[in-house]
Copies of this chain bind each other. A is one copy, B any other.
Amino acid sequence: MKEDQKIPNPVVRRLGLYYRCLNKLYDEGIEYVASKDIASRLGIKSSQIRKDLSYFGEFGKRGVGYNVENLIKKLETIIGVDKNWNVIIIGAGNIGSALVNYPGLKKEKFNIIGVFDADRSKVGKKIGKLTIQHISQLHEFAKKNIIEIAVIAVPENAAQMVTEELEKLGIKGIVNFAPVKLRTNIPVEEVDITLSFKTLAFKIGREGSR
């Protein structure tokens, strides 16, 4: 892969899907897999899968397919999941709590190392093994810990201010659950839960109208 090559976001998202699928195959003891088998498991066209993987110089052998273990290792390097990521969560509400307790993140090497909130009545309480800290302690915490990713799970009106604070602390990326577009130069992934519901509603509506 060329270092300066820009990988489109949809491809990046699919790489995550392939990675998860390949890990399941590996767990099932499967050594080689054809693109059409990955395709049927994920509901993605096999031509698309071959195209995505060829991006990274991976080509399945005709009649044999891809070596599952090799492909996992290759994807781990590309996706960056071979690395451990230190994550903090700003906002100890429902979403923040759900994330701390979500086993999938730790499994994928996203380690939540701190949770912060502006509400002093929450400070000192525990979510899982973590104690909620006041947001004013973040600066001190950042001096003592390497933080790579911050999750914004605060109300809409506080999100931009928090972002600017995170930028000052040298955070490398943000996952944003607040329903607002952040102005920042740091890479941001927006998560909008309602979009999944709207997409589903649209699908149901279309089915119903036939």
| A interface, CB within 8 angstroms of B | 3-4, 7, 9-10, 12-13, 15-17, 19-20, 41-43, 78-81, 83, 85, 87, 93-95, 97-99, 101-102, 104-105, 107-108, 110, 148-149, 172-175, 179, 181, 187-189, 191-210
List the 10 closest pairs (A to B, CB-CB), nearest first.
A94-B98, A80-B205, A80-B201, A187-B203, A16-B198, A189-B200, A98-B98, A189-B196, A173-B204, A173-B200
- Report yes or no: A110 in contact with B42, Cβ–Cβ below 8 A: no
Task: Give CA–CA (A208, B41) in the complex, Å.
Answer: 33
Q: Which residues of B contact A107 (CB under 8 A)?
A: 194
- Name the CB-closest residue of B to A172: B204
- Report yes or no: B179 in contact with A79, Cβ–Cβ below 8 A: no
Task: Give CA–CA (A188, B197) in the complex, Å.
Answer: 10
Q: Is the interface of A mostly helix, strand, loop or mixed?
A: helix
- Nearest-neighbour CB distance to chain B for A190, whole angstroms, equals 8
Number of copies: 2
- Report yes or no: A189 in contact with B197, Cβ–Cβ below 8 A: yes
- Report yes or no: A200 in contact with B181, Cβ–Cβ below 8 A: no
- Report yes or no: A104 in contact with B173, Cβ–Cβ below 8 A: no
Q: Which residues of B contact A17 (CB under 8 A)?
A: 195
- Nearest-neighbour CB distance to chain B for A118, whole angstroms, equals 18
Q: Which residues of B contact A199 (CB under 8 A)?
A: 9, 12-13, 16, 189
